[in-house]
Homo-oligomer: A and B are copies of this chain.
Amino acid sequence: MKLGRLNHVGVATPSIERSLDMYRTLYGVEPSSPPFDLPAQGVRVCFVDAPNSQVELIEPLGPDSPVAKFLEKNPQGGQHHVCFEVHDIAEARAHFEGAGVRILGATRIGAHGTPIFFLHPKDTGGVLTELMESPRQAH
C-alpha cells in the first residue's frame, strides 16, 4: 500500500448553494459539474476544482444523514474528511484490515463512480479518511 493522490478534501455544509456562492465570490471558481444526490450515502455532493485536487461539498439529504450529526456539532460546516486514491481497493481494504484499522461499512461506489471505503478516525489520528480506487483513465 502506497498513498496515492489526495483526490479531495470533504467539506460538510448546511447548504451547497451557499457554499458555491462563497467559492465563486472568494475564490473565483465554479463547480466542475452540478450538485448530485448519493441517496445510498444520505448526502448531496458537489465538487469544486483546484488545479491539482478538489473540494467535495457535502450536504445532508435528511436528518438521518451521517453528515447531519457533524453539522449539529459544527452548524456552519467544516472539514469532514480527506480522500486518498489507491490503485486497487480490494488490496487496500485487505491491507488496512491486516493492520487492525477499523473500516466503516462495506466497500461501495463513491461520488466519482469508483469503489471507496472509510477508515475510522480513531485509528487514523483523528482524520476521517476515505480510500478511493483511482478512476481508470488516471492510470
Interface of A with B (CB < 8 Å)?
Answer: 1-6, 9, 11-13, 19, 22-23, 25-29, 48, 50-53, 55, 74, 76-79, 81-82, 84, 96, 99, 101, 121-122, 124-127
Contacts and interface: CB of A to CB of B under 8 A. Distances in A.
B3 A50 contact: yes
A38 to B, nearest CB: 20
Contact of A22 (B53, B55, B125): B125
A4 B78 contact: no
Nearest to A50: B6
Contacts of A77: 125-127
Given A6-B53, A28-B2, A52-B52, A78 B121 contact: yes
B78 A5 contact: no
Given A53-B52, A125-B76, A126-B74, A99 B26 contact: yes
